[in-house]
């Protein structure tokens, strides 16, 4: 099938989306292995460590999303600026260097698994920092690759049209890339080391990633249903203006355990709950306008404007997934009076699963569909049986995991924290509770449902070019 994309930048975006999808699959597979080992510790005993499965599961999550984010920028950049991406040749070289580095790092994780806890381990195996455990050589390489990406974005934006989406994106990507540097500080004091690491992941997901998703939502809604630019960019700027409140101040809800003054807890609890508000408001406003205009067009017998149903479904899932995962499930245990019992339990895991999926994975999958539409030259892309199965099973699977982990966390909190006072004995007693074990059992079952949904997703993306249902 010929590639119908006219910009080299968008062809590069497809490469990023492809690797992102592969890493997404690796994340799900490793999650299933870890979930199985949670229930059956002898599974792959002395062959594949639980800690390695968990590490690859978490790191693959972060890396596939970063791949998809970079790919999304390369995809929308030519259309927003009106020109080919400046420095696209360097962008291609950076892609192959990054992919080679990620492949080597994952193989080292899986084959070597552990080291002597010496300086060589930090440089050659991993740095021991949850979510960003790349060895130091890869750490430095990532910085170089990201510098190329940021340069390409800024150089293209300065030369071409500077829309509101591009302007916000420039500021956001600069902050996103700059924050990574905080995770590269290394000290022998583990508290100081954790302090620097902590800011990377938390400010990423609480602030920069939220704004990034707003940029994608604004672009996607304009492309798919012809949303008015002034509406989506208005909400985008509101999201930026709320960043300091909802994103940065909202981080205060994490401060309960690090000795900051108590007023931070209430400030953090309040503002973290507001994080999804601008995005949801953007969707509601745009969908209201779109519905009204579509109704008028139907009355005038003018063609409807929806041109990518699968992508639109994932964008809608993002708006409400963000509200549920980051908003509702985050709010469950945000207040310090609750967090003292729930911190570090399966409640946290439940919130993490739904928040990452609802707030980020959904819209990035939507971008996959937009990329496939462009690559195959499809004018109107319709929902297929596979695309419906993919979104249904993935959403049910992740929601099922979230509820299962919430039930397990409830039992854990009740026994481990409330009744037995957070001792080591309490921890092990809670692990044998019926609610806890059954909750993790359902987490494994719904994880399998999620993986099946992923298989449908890949099948649908790969077979789009052969389906006659789409209008070209």
- As a whole number, mean pLDDT of residues 398-406 equals 97
- Looking at residue 146, its pLDDT comes to 93
Task: Express each pLDDT in 11-39 by its tens digit.
Answer: 999 999 999 999 999 999 999 999 999 99
Q: Is pLDDT larger for residue 122 or for residue 295?
A: 122
Q: Is pLDDT larger for residue 380 or for residue 268?
A: 380
- Looking at residue 105, its pLDDT comes to 95
pLDDT at 434 over 90: yes
- Looking at residue 322, its pLDDT comes to 84
Which three-class secondary structure state does DSSP give residue 423? coil
Contact 362, 398 (CB under 8 A): no
301 falls in which pLDDT band (50, 70, 90)?
Answer: low
- As a whole number, mean pLDDT of residues 234-254 equals 76
Task: Express each pLDDT in 41-60 by its tens digit.
Answer: 999 998 999 999 999 999 99
pLDDT at 296 over 70: no
Provide the H-helix boundaries in 125-189.
136-159, 164-180
- Looking at residue 300, its pLDDT comes to 64
204 Cα distance to chain centroid: 10
Neighbours of 332 (CB within 10 A): 16
Task: Express each pLDDT in 83-106 by its tens digit.
Answer: 999 999 999 999 999 999 999 999
- Looking at residue 224, its pLDDT comes to 93
Q: Is pLDDT larger for residue 198 or for residue 66?
A: 66
- Looking at residue 302, its pLDDT comes to 61
Task: Express each pLDDT in 126-160 by its tens digit.
Answer: 888 888 888 999 999 999 999 999 999 999 999 99
- Distance (Å, whole) CA 17 – CA 249: 33
Q: What is the mean pLDDT of the chain?
A: 89
The token pair at 338 is 């609750």
Q: Is pLDDT larger for residue 80 or for residue 118?
A: 80
- As a whole number, mean pLDDT of residues 384-395 equals 97
Q: Give me the residue label for tokens 């920069």.
A: 208
Phi, psi of 44 (to 5 degrees): 60, 30
- Looking at residue 297, its pLDDT comes to 63
Which three-class secondary structure state does DSSP give residue 308? strand
- Looking at residue 245, its pLDDT comes to 64
Task: Express each pLDDT in 319-345 by its tens digit.
Answer: 888 888 877 888 777 777 788 888 889
pLDDT at 269 over 90: no
- Looking at residue 304, its pLDDT comes to 59
193 falls in which pLDDT band (50, 70, 90)?
Answer: confident
- Looking at residue 303, its pLDDT comes to 63
Which three-class secondary structure state does DSSP give residue 188? coil
- Looking at residue 118, its pLDDT comes to 85
Q: Is pLDDT larger for residue 339 or for residue 313?
A: 313
- Looking at residue 344, its pLDDT comes to 86
Contact 358, 324 (CB under 8 A): yes
446 falls in which pLDDT band (50, 70, 90)?
Answer: very high
Q: Which regions of 92-219 does DSSP assign to beta strands (E)?
A: none
Q: Is pLDDT larger for residue 260 or for residue 425?
A: 425
Q: 278: closest CA among 229, 234, 227, 225? A: 234
Q: 67: closest CA among 371, 467, 388? A: 371
298 falls in which pLDDT band (50, 70, 90)?
Answer: low
- As a whole number, mean pLDDT of residues 456-466 equals 96
Contact 141, 97 (CB under 8 A): yes
Q: Is pLDDT larger for residue 113 or for residue 244?
A: 113
Q: 350: closest CA among 392, 414, 412? A: 412
The token pair at 58 is 């978490």
């Amino acid at each position: 099938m010929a590639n119908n994309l006219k910009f080299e930048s968008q062809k590069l975006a497809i490469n990023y989306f492809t690797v992102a999808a592969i890493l997404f699959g690796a994340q799900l597979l490793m999650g299933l292995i870890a979930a199985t080992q949670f229930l059956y510790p002898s599974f792959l005993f002395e062959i594949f460590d639980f800690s390695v499965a968990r590490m690859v599961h978490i790191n693959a999550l972060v890396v596939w999303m970063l791949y998809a984010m970079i790919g999304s920028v390369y995809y929308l950049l030519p259309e927003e600026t009106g020109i080919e991406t400046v420095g696209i040749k360097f962008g291609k070289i950076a892609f192959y260097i990054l992919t080679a580095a990620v492949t080597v790092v994952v193989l080292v994780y899986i084959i070597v698994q552990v080291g002597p806890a010496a300086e060589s381990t930090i440089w050659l195996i991993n740095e021991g920092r949850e979510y960003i455990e790349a060895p130091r050589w890869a750490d430095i390489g990532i910085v170089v690759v990201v510098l190329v990406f940021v340069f390409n974005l800024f150089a293209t934006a300065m030369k071409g049209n500077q829309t509101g989406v591009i302007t916000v994106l420039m500021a956001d990507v600069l902050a996103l890339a700059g924050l990574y540097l905080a995770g590269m500080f290394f000290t022998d004091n583990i508290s100081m080391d954790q302090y620097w690491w902590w800011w990377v992941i938390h400010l990423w997901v609480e602030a920069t990633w939220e704004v990034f998703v707003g940029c994608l939502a604004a672009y996607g809604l304009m492309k798919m249903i012809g949303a008015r630019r002034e509406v989506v960019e208005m909400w985008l700027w509101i999201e930026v203006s709320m960043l300091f409140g909802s994103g940065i101040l909202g981080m205060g809800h994490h401060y309960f355990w690090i000795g900051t003054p108590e007023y931070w807890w209430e400030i953090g609890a309040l503002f973290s709950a507001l994080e999804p508000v601008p995005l949801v408001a953007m969707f509601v406003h745009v969908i209201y306008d779109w519905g009204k205009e579509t109704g008028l067009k139907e009355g005038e017998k003018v063609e409807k404007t929806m041109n990518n149903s699968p992508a639109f479904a994932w964008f809608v899932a993002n708006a409400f997934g963000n509200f549920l995962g980051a908003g509702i499930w985050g709010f469950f245990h945000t207040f310090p009076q609750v967090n003292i019992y729930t911190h570090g339990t399966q409640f946290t895991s439940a919130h993490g699963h739904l928040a990452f999926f609802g707030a980020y994975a959904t819209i990035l999958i939507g971008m996959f569909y937009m990329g496939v539409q462009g690559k195959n030259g499809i004018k109107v892309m319709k929902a297929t049986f596979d695309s419906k199965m993919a979104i249904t099973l993935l959403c049910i699977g992740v929601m099922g995991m979230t509820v299962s982990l919430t039930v397990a966390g409830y039992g854990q909190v009740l026994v481990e924290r409330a009744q037995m006072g957070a001792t080591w004995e309490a921890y092990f007693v809670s692990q044998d509770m019926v609610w806890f074990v059954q909750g993790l059992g359902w987490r494994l079952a719904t994880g399998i449902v999620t993986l099946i949904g992923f298989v449908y997703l890949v099948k649908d993306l790969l077979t789009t070019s052969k389906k006659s249902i789409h209008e070209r």
